[in-house]
Structure 1
Amino acid sequence: MSIGHNENKNMTFIKTIPVFLITLFVVTSTFGQESKQKTKILLLGTVHFETPHTDHFELKVDDFFNVKRQNELEDLTNVLSQTKATKVMIERPIENQRSCDSLYFLYLKNQYKLTVSEREQIGFRLAKKLKLNHVNCIDKFYGMRDSLMAVTAQQNNQLYLLKDLGTTANALISDYDNQLKNGTITQVLKYINKPEELKRNLSIYLKFMAKIGAGKNFAGAETVSDWYLRNLAIYSNIINQVEHSDKYVILIFGQGHIPILKHLLQNNDDFEIIELNSVLK
């Protein structure tokens, strides 16, 4: 009787070992995941200071070289520099990294005057205040099939969608123009980065464009996919250039990119999105 009882105890103990090891592995893995340091990332959606004439709907901005705007840019970058970010990423093609490095190096030596572009007025200026040796270029351009979409709209009696799109986009531009005329750069950036404003921009693609040609050639959906492809490529550049040692990263991009990039980064548990209104008080 006693021998059999001991054997049962031994068998129970042996069976318990794998369960214990599995439990220990799960607990250890969970603990490791919870303790992993996430990279904080601040997404700063901007208007384009120089009116680059690459978008169908553009804000005709004022003179960012005047004293008032330059002081506002100093105030903005002073606040952003308090984050102690270890990287500043800008909307410049990744293949232009070497030329960007050369210009930034000259700027650090006070041998280069910043152009009007927000990539330099905010990006270079901020990176210098953060004492960074490098500004990261992460843009990747993909053309959009606008002409095919327009032809499809005409063939499918959907020109009203393009008209509604234009009306909506122009209303958005007019609103931002009014904000810029009456507010500081910081106030404008806070306004255009509100969740409802990010949604307002993205809805232009999803409400109007995606509907054109649906059920036939999907020209509208394919045009929207080109926009998503560009932002996915930008996202790929972001996650490829962020290192484990980076505790805080600031990305400076046209406001239209932000809702997609924000969605992608929110679903990558290596990152923690920092809301702009928590930094720009």
Structure 2
Amino acid sequence: MQKIILLLALLTFNLSSSQIKKKQVLLIGTFHYANPGLDVAQLNSFSIMSEKSQKELEIMSDKIKKFGPDKIFVEWEFSKQTDLDKFYNKNTDSLFKNNKSEITQLALRTAKKLNHKKLYGMNLYTPFRYDSLMMAMEKANQKDLIQRNKVVTENFEKQHNEKIRKSSLQEMMLYYNTKQSENENIQWYLEVANRGGNPDDFTGASLVANWYKRNLYMYSLIQKLTESTDNKIMILVGAGHAALIREFISHDPTFELVDLATVLK
């Protein structure tokens, strides 16, 4: 009897979910325009302040404005929303000339064109224990895995730096939102990090679990802060976050992903 009730409840839920008007989500994964050098991979900086890039940003933000998100979420600490509000209300021209961050150059630029009152911070920073992972690999004498980690990291650095030399800003942005790029961003965690440590040492798996947890918490904030009156939202995050958030959205019947390429075409 309990099984029948459960099945009926699931059927009712599925039917009601299918009747919900889905909210469109423009998820944009990006490299860091300002490149603070805090990531494991050492990547060259992109000339975001060049005249060409600034023109591209104007065109990109105009096209996103046409898409018309009701809210824009950015990788800013949720607990520091007051600081983000103050930042948003600073002199716009000065910010565009002096702040290289993708939050300023793309998200804020777009939000201002849409006459939004604010940006929404949804980042939840957690320490990334890379040194502990490497120590666990050394302790486990995982020489092949250490070498594989070096190769994967160097290949990523080389690929990114070559693209910087050859590509426009829009080409870079479109690439970082392809399935290939997303797979590469997730691959390291499962191919390398999750294997780190002795059989009774879960340092690697703990790092991966904390990475997934952080992204789930961020996604939880997006879900909670998206109101019933919001028909479209935009999310701007580092490409590594976008790869997981895209996966979460694909299993959430209340949201519908919109491809960046279709917006910028």
Residue 226 (structure 2) pairs with residue 218 (structure 1) = no
Q: For the structure 1 residues 266 and 107, does the alpha-carbon distance in structure 2 shift closer, same or farther, using more than 3 Å as the test? A: farther
Residue 169 (structure 2) pairs with residue 177 (structure 1) = no
CA distance in 2, matches of 1:154, 1:187: 39
Q: Which residue of 1 aligns with 2:140?
A: 156
Q: After alignment, is 83-92 or 169-178 more displaced?
A: 169-178
Q: Which residue of 1 aligns with 2:264?
A: 280
Instruction: Report if aligned partners of 2:18, 2:253 keep a CA contact under 8 Å in 1.
Output: no
SS of the residue aligned with 2:40? coil
Residue 191 (structure 2) pairs with residue 207 (structure 1) = yes
Letter in 1 for 2:213: L
Q: Which residue of 1 aligns with 2:149?
A: 165
Q: Which residue of 1 aligns with 2:246?
A: 262
CA distance in 2, matches of 1:275, 1:142: 29
Q: Which residue of 2 aligns with 1:17?
A: none
Instruction: Report if aligned partners of 1:48, 1:59 keep a CA contact under 8 Å in 2.
Output: no
CA distance in 2, matches of 1:157, 1:29: 50
Structure number with bigger Rg:
1
SS of the residue aligned with 2:28? strand
How big is the shift at 1:160?
2.9
Residue 104 (structure 2) pairs with residue 84 (structure 1) = no
Q: After alignment, is 247-256 or 159-168 more displaced?
A: 159-168
Letter in 1 for 2:99: T
CA distance in 2, matches of 1:105, 1:164: 46
Instruction: Report if aligned partners of 2:73, 2:236 keep a CA contact under 8 Å in 1.
Output: yes
- Residue pairs, 1:118-137, within 5 angstroms: 118-137=102-121
Q: Which residue of 2 aligns with 1:53?
A: 37
Instruction: Report if aligned partners of 1:103, 1:112 keep a CA contact under 8 Å in 2.
Output: no
CA distance in 2, matches of 1:28, 1:256: 36
- Residue pairs, 1:131-146, within 5 angstroms: 131-146=115-130
Q: For the structure 1 residues 214 and 258, does the alpha-carbon distance in structure 2 shift closer, same or farther, using more than 3 Å as the test? A: farther
Q: For the structure 1 residues 129 and 153, does the alpha-carbon distance in structure 2 shift closer, same or farther, using more than 3 Å as the test? A: same
TM-score normalised to the size of structure 2? 0.89
How big is the shift at 1:181?
2.0
CA distance in 1, matches of 2:10, 2:200: 50
Letter in 1 for 2:100: V
Instruction: Report if aligned partners of 2:29, 2:236 keep a CA contact under 8 Å in 1.
Output: yes
Q: After alignment, is 58-67 or 243-252 more displaced?
A: 58-67
Q: For the structure 1 residues 62 and 30, does the alpha-carbon distance in structure 2 shift closer, same or farther, using more than 3 Å as the test? A: closer
Q: For the structure 1 residues 58 and 137, does the alpha-carbon distance in structure 2 shift closer, same or farther, using more than 3 Å as the test? A: farther
Residue 204 (structure 2) pairs with residue 249 (structure 1) = no
How big is the shift at 1:123?
0.8
CA distance in 2, matches of 1:250, 1:177: 27
Q: After alignment, is 32-41 or 47-56 more displaced?
A: 32-41
Residue 87 (structure 2) pairs with residue 103 (structure 1) = yes
| Higher-RCO chain (CA-CA 8 Å, sequence separation at least 6) | 2
Q: For the structure 1 residues 210 and 31, does the alpha-carbon distance in structure 2 shift closer, same or farther, using more than 3 Å as the test? A: closer
Q: After alignment, is 110-119 or 96-105 more displaced?
A: 110-119
Structure 2 spans left out of the alignment, 5+ residues: 1-7
State the aligned residue count. 257
Q: Aligned Cα RMSD in Å?
A: 2.2
Instruction: Report if aligned partners of 2:17, 2:253 keep a CA contact under 8 Å in 1.
Output: no
TM-score normalised to the size of structure 1? 0.85
How big is the shift at 1:222?
0.7
Q: Which residue of 1 aligns with 2:5?
A: none
Q: Which residue of 1 aligns with 2:19?
A: 35
How big is the shift at 1:29?
7.2
SS of the residue aligned with 2:264? coil
CA distance in 2, matches of 1:33, 1:223: 34
